Amino acid sequence: MSSTTSTSFIKSQAYGKARVRVVRVVRQPDGWQELVDYSVRVLLSGDQFESSYTAGDNKLVVATDSQKNIVYYLAKVLKPEQVMVPERFAAEIADFMVKKYDHVTAAHVHITTRPWERQKFAGRDHPHSFVREGKETRWTNVVATKTNPPAATSVKFEIVSGLEDLQILKTTNSSFVDFYRDEFATLPDMADRIVSTNVETKWRYIFSSKGAVEKANFNGVYDGVKRNTLDTFVNDPRAWVHASVQTTLYIMADRILKEFPEIDDVYYALPNNHVFPVDLSPFGLKNLQGDATVYNPIRDPSGYITGTISRKSSAPKL
């Protein structure tokens, strides 16, 4: 039911706390320590919050401050394996919210994590010191929804995980030829070129219960998505033969869907960060096509190639 005034009604609403910064450390008795560094956003939704928007009624409003406190409380009381994987922690927070509050019908938890790499000295992993490399950002978004509200006996979880800003470049084995030619086509065929992108990708799972979430190998899928992305870009000959960012995108996603049956679909956005050879012919120097060694990386504009690739039959429900 939607609250109405004479002209308006609430189409959707969700509220909560964003950018809750949490670092959780796990300390082993032998001195080995692990750490995760998260930024968490929690949003709650349910029809009974409508009067807080339309009638100034706060009676059922769980303060965003309380939501922030719950994030820290759970970071402390949960077991390491429930916190140290972002999807698991997000699912725990979302599950807690829908079970604790009858009037919450769905909880949306988004976690962004920037990985700290363990430092190495003389080839040995240091037990408790870390360095932040210029790595990609990992994130997840978990929506826990009661299937029979207000009872929390049955809760389904839709999890979309992703990575962004994985910057990659190769100096050969990419081409772009035989494209549509008309009066606007000024780009020459490029039989060999530098190709450079900042990979953004996300993939989707659906779980019918929290037990299924607990069995999933989120870190394994994350590592596999990254491995297939890099390996396709560098090593998959199909990405050189058909040689466009579009083809590379499709092969990346297709490989991921083949390897991970638990994923329903994969989205990529691959900016084509152009790095063009400089025309040095005014100076009597050959620097185009096969002679190119000096390039101008163009900041703006970039190409921007996107696609969502889905499996023909949907993934087995978990």
Ligand X SMILES: O=c1[nH]c(=O)c2[nH]c(=O)[nH]c2[nH]1
* Residues in contact with ligand X by the rule CB under 6 A: 176, 187, 244-246, 272, 303
Determine contact, residues 97/108, Cβ cutoff 8 Å.
no
Cα R_g (the chain), whole angstroms:
24
Nearer to ligand X, 137 or 175 (CB): 175
Q: State yes or no: 245 annotated in a binding site.
A: yes
Contact 142, 155 (CB under 8 A): no
Q: Catalytic amino acids?
A: 17, 64, 274
Task: Please state, as a whole number, how many other Cβ atoms lie within 10 Å of the Cβ of residue 300.
Answer: 6
Shortest distance in whole angstroms from residue 249 CB to ligand X: 9
Asked if 35 and 127 count as a contact pair (C-beta separation under 8 A), the reply is no
C-alpha span between 20 and 178 (Å, rounded):
50
The answer to whether 247 is annotated as binding is no
Rounded distance between C-alpha atoms, residue 84 and residue 25, angstroms: 9
228 annotated ligand-binding residue: no
What per-residue string of b and e applies to 40-69 under the rule 16 or more CB within 10 Å gives b? bbbbbbbebbbebebeeeeeeebebeebbe
85 among annotated binding-site residues: no
Q: How far, in Å, CA of 156 to CA of 211, rounded?
A: 10
Whose Cβ is closer to ligand X: residue 224's or residue 303's?
Answer: 303
Cβ proximity to ligand X, 206 vs 275, nearer residue = 275
Compute the least distance from the CB of residue 187 to ligand X, in Å.
5
Q: Binding residue per annotation — 65?
A: yes
CB of 168 to ligand X, least distance (A): 14
Q: Which of 29, 19, 116, 115 is nearest to 71 (CA)?
A: 19
Closest contact distance (angstroms) between CB of 237 and ligand X is 16
Q: Tell me whether residue 117 or residue 189 sits nearer to ligand X (CB atom).
A: 189
For the annotated binding site for 5-hydroxyisourate, the residues are: 64-65, 176, 193, 245-246, 272
For the annotated binding site for urate, the residues are: 64-65, 176, 193, 245-246, 272
For the annotated binding site, the residues are: 64-65, 176, 193, 245-246, 272
